[in-house]
Amino acid sequence: MHTASLERPNAAERAFIDQVIISRTGHPGALLGILESVQERHPNKYLPLETLEYIAAQTNTPLSRIYSVVTFYALFNLQPQGDNTICICRGTACHTRGSRNLLQSVRLELGLGLEDASETSEADKTLLTTPDHKFTVRTVACFGQCAMAPVVEVNHRICGHVNERTLQREIRTVERESY
């Protein structure tokens, strides 16, 4: 997961991380809160490896534990994210109601192409960001909103009973709001 360019936290970022650690230490879920705050502050809404290493050192937590937390929770990102996120549920209820077609449609709509040969399993996680970094498209195993299937999350807003037309309308709305 190491990117070509190292992204070591600068002095201001280290000071922010230190302050977050101080404010969260001793509270339930401290590590989750620290990681969430640090990711939210990053301009690309992700946690670079060097940042995880710094947090591990400052909290005296093994890097392997931090990495396992970050990879377990879908909330955390190890790659830079686009300005807007579209997250498509791939759970059973959503799949049977057309979420695969929604994923293919949004990939084509945003110029991300169709699935390649390496994406063989329906359960594979998808994480793609447009070259202009305006959109990240991802999948999740389940949102737990099965009665509203198929479900899509657009910029952290849950949309239920989505079809290709409503998803295209959501994308257009986000594009208009971004300008």
Burial (CB count within 10 angstroms: exposed 0-12, middle 13-18, buried 19+), residue 96:
exposed
pLDDT at 128 > cutoff 80: yes
pLDDT at 3 > cutoff 80: no
What is the residue-averaged pLDDT of the chain?
Answer: 88
Q: Output the pLDDT for position 122.
A: 45
Question: What is the mean pLDDT of the segment spanning 150-157?
Answer: 93
pLDDT at 96 > cutoff 70: yes
Instruction: List, in sequence order, every residue forming a beta bridge with 85; answer none if it has no partner.
Output: 136
pLDDT tens-digit series, residues 58-95? 999 999 999 999 998 878 999 899 999 999 999 999 99
pLDDT at 110 > cutoff 50: yes
- The 3 state secondary structure assigned to 63-110 is HHHHHHHHHHCCCCCCCCCCCEEEEEECCHHHHHCCHHHHHHHHHHHC
Question: What is the mean pLDDT of the segment spanning 98-115?
Answer: 91
The model's confidence at residue 117, banded by pLDDT at 50, 70 and 90, is: very low
